[in-house]
Every structure is written in structure tokens, then in C-alpha cells.
């Protein structure tokens, strides 16, 4: 990687990047120590397996830090392009598969698993 030689180069580098992607739905999994202890690694694997098994091309799984809701781990935030994020609580492998099938493929939120409380960003 080439080193950035000035503040302007840094700003150009930043302008060419964004958190998430305009063309893909991102499934952000809270994977701090606490999330991992609650099973986030299994959740990530289940999501990735389901994406592969269903041949979904428009979604990718990323790790993120602590989302702050210890009581609702493991947490998955679905960030679809142009949509407000939808947050799921207590995402085990079975729920992970449902999220891919019903939400990512079918467009329907998985009822009963949404953490609906607003949080500031």
C-alpha cells in the first residue's frame, strides 16, 4: 500500500471509501469479546453458510464492535442500501438462516426477533 503523503491525499482516499457498500446489503455482527462469548462466531458462520447455500449475491457479513445491548447478544444489524438498519437480537444459527431466507431474499423482516428501540448514531 502506498503511503499517504499529505492531508489532501488522505481526504481523497477517504472520499473514495464508505462504510458498507452502495450495492450490497451488509449484515453487521456485533463481534466484540462479549458478542463472541454470546455466540457471534456461530452466528457469522450460519449467516455465511446460508448466503452460500441460497446463492445470495447481494449480501455480505462483516464484524463490528459492541452494539451496546448486552442483554440481546448476539446482535445482527441488517443494513440494506437506501434503507434504515434493522437490528435483530439473540441471533442463533436458526434465526440467522431465517434472516437470510425471509429478510435478505424475501424482503420480510423476521417478526418477534427485532430490537426495535432507536439508538443514536
Partner 1 sequence: MAKITSNILVDVSGGKDVYNALAKAVSAAGLGKSVQVAAVDGFGVKAEGAVVKVLPSGGYYTGVAPEDADRIVQAAASGEGGSPVPAYTTNVRVALKNVGYIDPASIDDYIATRGYEALGGCLTNNTPQDVIAAVKASGLRGRGGAGFPTGLKWEFAGKSAGDKKYVICNADEGDPGAFMDRSVLEGDPHAVLEAMAICGYAIGADEGVIYCRAEYPLAVARLENAINQAEALGLLGDNILGTGFSFKISINLGAGAFVCGEETALINSIEGQRGEPRLKPPFPAAAGLWMKPSNVNNVETYACVRHIFLNGPEWFAGIGTEKSKGTKVFALAGKINNVGLIEVPMGTTLREIIYDIGGGIRGGKQFKAIQTGGPSGGCIPASLLDLPIDYESLASVGSMMGSGGLIVMDEDDCMVNIARYYLDFTVEESCGKCTPCRIGNMRLLEMLEEITSGKGKPEYINELRELGEVIKDASLCGLGQTAPNPVLSTMHYFMDEYEAHIRDHKCPAGACSALLKYVIDPEKCTGCTLCARNCPVDCIAGERRKTHVIDQERCIKCGTCMAKCRFGAISRV
Binding site for partner 1 (CB under 8 A): 1, 3-7, 9-11, 13-14, 17-19, 28, 30, 32-34, 36, 62-71, 77, 80, 82-84, 86, 105-109, 111-112, 114, 116-121
**Strand, helix or coil at 113?**
coil
Distance of CA 109 to the CA centre of its chain: 14
- Shortest distance in whole angstroms from residue 119 CB to partner 1: 7
Comparing CB distances to partner 1, the nearer of 52 and 70 is 70
How many angstroms separate the CA atoms of 35 and 4, rounded?
A: 34
- Shortest distance in whole angstroms from residue 52 CB to partner 1: 18
Q: Is 78 exposed, middle or buried (0-12, 13-18, 19+ CB in 10 A)?
A: buried
Amino acid at each position: 500500500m502506498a503511503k499517504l503523503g499529505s492531508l489532501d491525499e488522505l481526504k481523497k482516499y477517504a472520499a473514495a471509501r464508505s462504510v458498507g457498500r452502495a450495492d450490497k446489503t451488509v449484515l453487521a455482527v456485533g463481534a466484540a469479546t462479549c458478542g463472541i462469548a454470546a455466540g457471534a462466531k456461530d452466528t457469522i458462520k450460519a449467516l455465511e453458510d446460508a448466503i452460500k447455500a441460497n446463492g445470495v449475491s447481494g449480501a455480505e457479513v462483516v464484524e463490528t464492535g459492541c452494539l451496546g445491548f448486552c442483554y440481546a447478544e448476539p446482535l445482527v444489524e441488517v443494513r440494506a442500501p437506501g434503507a434504515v438498519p434493522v437490528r435483530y437480537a439473540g441471533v442463533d444459527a436458526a434465526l440467522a438462516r431465517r434472516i437470510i431466507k425471509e429478510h435478505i431474499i424475501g424482503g420480510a423482516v423476521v417478526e418477534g426477533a427485532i430490537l426495535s428501540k432507536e439508538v443514536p448514531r
